[in-house]
Amino acid sequence: MFLSQLNLEQREAAIASLGSESFDVLVIGGGVNGVGAALDAASRGLKVALIESQDIAAGTSSRSSKLIHGGLRYLEQYDFKLVREALHERELLVSTLCPHLVKPVGFLFPLTEKFKERTYVGAGLALYDALRGFQRALPWHKHLSQKQINEIAPSLRPDIIMGAIKYFDAQVDDARHTLSVARTAARHGAIIATRVSAESLIREGKRIVGVNAKDLVAGKSIAIKATVTVMCAGIWSDELHAKFDLTAGYHVTMSKGVHIVLPGSAIKSDAGIILKTPVSVLFIIPWGDKWIVGTTDTPYTGNRAEPFASREDVAYIVDQANRVLTPKIKVDEIIGVYAGLRPLVANNKSSATTKLSREHTVDRPAPGFVSIAGGKYTTYRIMGRDVIDLAVNELRKLTPESVTDKLPLVGADGYFALMQQVDQIALQSGLDVETITHLLNRYGSMISEILTLIENNPSLSAKLSRDLPYIKAEIYYAASHEGARTVDDVISRRTRIAFEAGNHGVELADSIGEIIAPVLGWSTKDRKASVAAYESLVNREKEALHELLSSSEGEKVSS
């Protein structure tokens, strides 16, 4: 009945609908919680619209550790409810909701002491496994000897690592997953428009009845009428509450999380590694043929729109990883660095971010307006359900319960069967098995849409770059089906070239601009402007890093 494509035509229709129709629910925010709320509401049969001032997943939801996990460190805080809830969601995502995007990944917990530490950590991991309940999508943890650890992870220092315990969590391309939730919401009738900013609230007496918004592309104002407005603004929550003259029952403290990206050759291990640090935990995460290492957890009060890593951030990550690695990570091996901001709910601004709970808070500061903040990426579906449960009270009509725990995302249907037909699909399409596997693990059953593009234009089957897995059809598809409107959208979120390629993929920006230009109706001037805007973003990031990778002070980090 509805299509999941996000593109120019869909956006034009969405803009028209926003200004001419009335909605049950209007969602502000296109991060994972916003699109999750929109999907929850739409799948209950409600008339839903979502506006996002930038791109889908433009902020925190594209800059996480790429993990779907229960949160081992929350066991130490005795936050069993949160861990149990997150583990339940992890099992659902891996097995049912989006198995093409969320994959099991093994982690080693290295032990530096033979008996006491093994007993303590082993008990914690046994509890971690037990809290997930009866679902068993991932294997149980197991103890490894020093000999086994040397075989699995030669990079772990044999002089201090006495053994390890292997356990499993899951990983995800966060930006792609968020986009898939958005497209699933669109398939169930949600009206979705990016580059639309909420400027002020429409009030009738004390009740909020909609939002005055601005189409940032056309520069036109839109009055959007809705029975209830749901704000899922994450790190922007405090700013929007103030802008809307609302007094919320919480405020958000920002915590910066930085990650570095390394080539596969930098660390020799067949599994990820988790390390306990003085302030948190550090993950060494396999990411294709690369490694993502992070994260930091430090209070942040800077520019929300462009959080950058500092020398201290990178030094902390490298120093902590090098406690157990041999040979040590060298700063000049770093391919990419990215920083994200966690929105943590706090009672007062003096709270230390590392001690704040990752529980979420749902609030109703005014009739017709609800908001949500906090939580963790893994529990986005629960957050969407909870905020819509509160929102429907404003509708004054019977509304069905949430069904998102039974609702696979676009691309999930038939994925397991397709993975068993890789050879046949490769033969029929003319693409190699490796490329088909890559496409299935990014698009699932929607691979058919990619293959159709290639049938119509065989040149799109070529790789974008020899060193990356992406083919040109994926770049075209980002604009034709996935709502990408700029070179940055494609490099930073529809693909992960921004941190997977050297120099943030700047050398590929022109090629990408040429591929998406006809889809977006760009002139040569438009294309050059979008490429230049991405180059400017990269330059600002480089300046913020103070040329970390080549500075003499940076070299001290690796010593």
Please name the amino acid found at residue 239: E
The CA-based diameter of the chain, rounded to the nearest angstrom, is 72
Residue 453's φ and ψ, nearest 5 degrees, are: -60, -40
Flag the least confident range among 18-22, 142-146, 344-348. Answer: 344-348
Flag the least confident range among 153-162, 283-292, 305-314. Answer: 305-314
Flag the least confident range among 44-58, 263-277, 334-348. Answer: 334-348
Q: How far apart are CA 439 and CA 444, in angstroms?
A: 7
Lookup: tokens for 241? 């509450």
Neighbour tally for 205: CB within 10 Å: 7
Instruction: Assess contact for 524 and 489: CB atoms under 8 A.
Output: no
Flag the least confident range among 7-16, 246-255, 447-456. Answer: 246-255
Average pLDDT, the chain: 91
Is 541 or 155 the better-scoring residue by pLDDT? 155
Q: How far apart are CA 344 and CA 229, in angstroms?
A: 22
The pLDDT score that the predictor gives to residue 80 is 81
| Fold adopted by 8-61+175-250+357-406 | FAD/NAD(P)-binding domain (3.50.50)
Pick from 79-93, 239-253, 323-337, 425-439 the range whose average pLDDT is largest: 425-439
Overall size of the chain counted in residues:
559
Pick from 79-93, 148-162, 305-319, 425-439 the range whose average pLDDT is largest: 425-439
The pLDDT score that the predictor gives to residue 353 is 45
Residues forming a β-bridge with 229: 26, 369
Q: How far apart are CA 506 and CA 536, in angstroms?
A: 10
Q: How far apart are CA 180 and CA 186, in angstroms?
A: 10
Distances in Å between the Cα of 396 and the Cα atoms of 41, 227, 384 are: 15, 10, 20
Q: 337 CB contacts (<8 Å, ≥6 apart)? A: 258, 259, 260, 261, 309, 314, 499, 545, 548
Q: How do beta strands 22-28 and 251-263 pair?
A: unpaired
Confidence tier at 555 by pLDDT (50, 70, 90): very low
Owner of token pair 């319960």: 401
Q: How far apart are CA 320 and CA 405, in angstroms?
A: 38
Q: How do beta strands 48-52 and 191-194 pair?
A: parallel
Helix (H, G, I), strand (E, B) or coil at 121: helix
Across the range 506-535, mean pLDDT stands at 98
CATH 3.50.50.60, the chain: domain bounds: 8-61+175-250+357-406
- The CATH number of 102-169+253-346 is which of 3.40.50.300, 3.40.50.1980, 3.30.9.10, 2.40.50.220? 3.30.9.10
Cis upstream peptide for 327 (omega within 30°): yes
Give, to the nearest 10 degrees, the angle between helix 174-187 and helix 32-42: 20
Distances in Å between the Cα of 467 and the Cα atoms of 70, 263, 435, 531 are: 34, 11, 13, 21
CATH 3.30.9.10, the chain: domain bounds: 102-169+253-346
Residue 10's φ and ψ, nearest 5 degrees, are: -60, -40
Q: How far apart are CA 505 and CA 491, in angstroms?
A: 7
Helix runs in 43-145, H state only: 73-76, 80-92, 116-130
Confidence tier at 398 by pLDDT (50, 70, 90): very high
Answer whether residue 559 shows pLDDT above 60: no
Distances in Å between the Cα of 35 and the Cα atoms of 21, 40, 50 are: 20, 9, 8
- Residue-wise over 217-229: b if at least 16 C-beta within 10 A, else e? eeeeebebbbbbb
